[in-house]
Amino acid sequence: MAVQIETIKKLKNGLDVLPDLYRYASLGFAAIPEDEIERLKWYGLLHRKQTPGFFMQRLRIPNGILSTRQMRAIVSVSRDFGRNTMDLTTRENIQLRWLRIEDVPEVFQRLQNVGLTSQQTGLDNYRNVMGCPLAGLHHEEIFNAAPIAQSVSLALLGREFSDLPRKFNITISGCSHDCAHSRANDIGMTPAAKEINGYRVLGFHVALGGALGGTTPQLGQDAGIFLTTEQALPFCRAVLSVFRDNGSREKRTEARLKWLIREWGMARFMAEVEKVFGQPFFSAGESLLAAHNGDHLGVHKQQDQGFITVGLLVPVGRTNAQQMAEIADLADAYGTGELRLTPDQNILIPNVHETCLDRLLAEPLLQVLQPHAPGALRGLVSCTGRDYCHFALSDTKELSLQVAEELASLIPAERRVDLKVSGCVHACGQHHVGEIGLQAQRLRLEDGSIVDAFDLFVGGNHQQLATLKARKIPVDQLAGRIAAELAILDGK
C-alpha cells in the first residue's frame, strides 16, 4: 500500500485533481479511475467500501469554532445531499456522508459561501488544527490561542505540504487543562511562560510525535523548548518541512512523525527543525498546565461577567441535520450566533446570558442532548464503527452506548467515566488514553457462534497510556467488569 500511495502521489499531486473532480461530477462515479478516488481525499472526499458510489466529506473547522450561518450551510448539505447524517469527531470537526460526486460542486459552493473548506483533510496532509473549545471564553484561561490555531489550520494549506509521508495532527491551546489533548498529536502546544530579558512572556511548550494508532501507540515527547506566540506558525512550518523531506515513505505503518524521531532521536530532530526555523530556540520555561478536571458539558462561567457557556452531550457524536439546525436556532436565540465543537464529540453554545439560562435548559432539544448527563455517558467517545468503516470489527457507536447506559445503572450518576471505544487497532476512538478503553474484537464461543467482544484497557489519560487488563470480554459482561475496575481505581 505504501508504494502504491507514494506512486499515486508522484504521478500527480493530489491538489491537481480539482479540475478533474468537476469533470467527474458531470460524468458520474463510474468514470472515476481508482487512483483518482485516492486523490479526491485531498479535497476531503473519502470513498468507503460500506457505501459504494458515495463519499464521506471531512470538513476543516479550525479550533472547532463555527458560526450558526456556517452550521446552517453544513445542515443544508446534509439535508439535501447526505441523508441527514452528521458525525461530530474527536478533532473538533464534522463529517458528512452519502454524498454523490454529481452533487460535490454544489456542496463545495455552499461551504465556500460561508468560509468553509474540506481541502487537505484526508490522506497524507495535516488535518484540522485543534484548540481549547472554550478558547477566549473560559474564566481560568491563560491566554486565547484560538487565533493561532485558526491561522495555522489555514495558512499552511496548499502545495507546500500536500505530499507528507503520512497524516499529521496539530493542537495549539492556551488552556491550563490540556483539553485539546496535546500529547496525542504530532505537534502539541500548551501554555507556558518564560522570563526573557526581565519580562515574563507567555507562549508555548511543545510535545512532538504523539500518535495513538497501530500496535505501538505513543504520547508526544517534550521537545524542551519555549515558543513565543508569534513563533507558533513558523515552528509548525519548520517541523512539517523536516517531516516532509525526511520521513519514511517505505512502510505506511511506520511513517508517522514518531518513527522519524525514534530513528534520529529528539536532539537531532530538533537540530534539523532549528535549521529550517532559522534562529535558535528558547529553552523551556515554566509550564502553566494543571491537571485536567472534567469536561465541557453543563454550565461554565465565562470571562465576561454574567455570561456562560452551555455544553451539550451528543452521544458518541452521532447527530443529524434536524438536531444541528435546532442547535443553530438556539445559539441565535440565546447566544451570539456561535458554536463550539469539542474533542469529546460534543457541542457548546457560548455567550448565553445567565438571565436566559433557565429558559435554555428547558428547551426540548436539551432534554435529548443533555447538558447534565449521567457520568457514564459524559466521557464516552467512539470511533465511526462498522457501518461506515471497513476496518472496524463491530458497530462501536451502538455497542458503546449500550455498555455506557448499562454502566450508568451500576455506578453513581456523578461518577464521570472517561470511556473511549475503538473498532480496531487504528485507535480512532483513542482507547489507549481512556480511563477505560475498549478495542473491538470478535469472540468464538464454545458452541461455535461468534459474538462481539472488546479488549479492556484501564488507567489511561492524556499523560499516560492505559494498561491492557483483559482480552475479548463479551459485550454482555463489559459493564459489570468496567464497574469493578472503577471501584479499584476509586480505592473501594
Instruction: Catalogue the active-site residues.
Output: 58, 166-167, 423, 428-429
Cβ neighbour number for residue 127 with a 10 Å cutoff: 20
Question: Which of 261, 179, 257, 196 shows the shortest CA–CA distance to 230?
Answer: 196
215 vs 111: CA distance, rounded Å = 37
151 vs 145: CA distance, rounded Å = 10
Cα atoms found within 13 Å of the Cα of residue 111, Cβ hemisphere only: 22
Whether 319 contacts 339, CB under 8 Å:
no
List the alpha helices (DSSP H) in 219-340.
232-246, 257-264, 266-277, 321-334
Q: What are the Cα distances from residue 420, in Å, to 21, 238, 295, 356, 482?
A: 36, 33, 14, 34, 12
What DSSP character marks residue 252?
G
C-alpha cell at 155: 495558512
3 state SS for 174-226: CCCCCCCCHHHCCEEEEEEEEEECCEEEEEEEEEECCECCCCCCECCEEEEEE
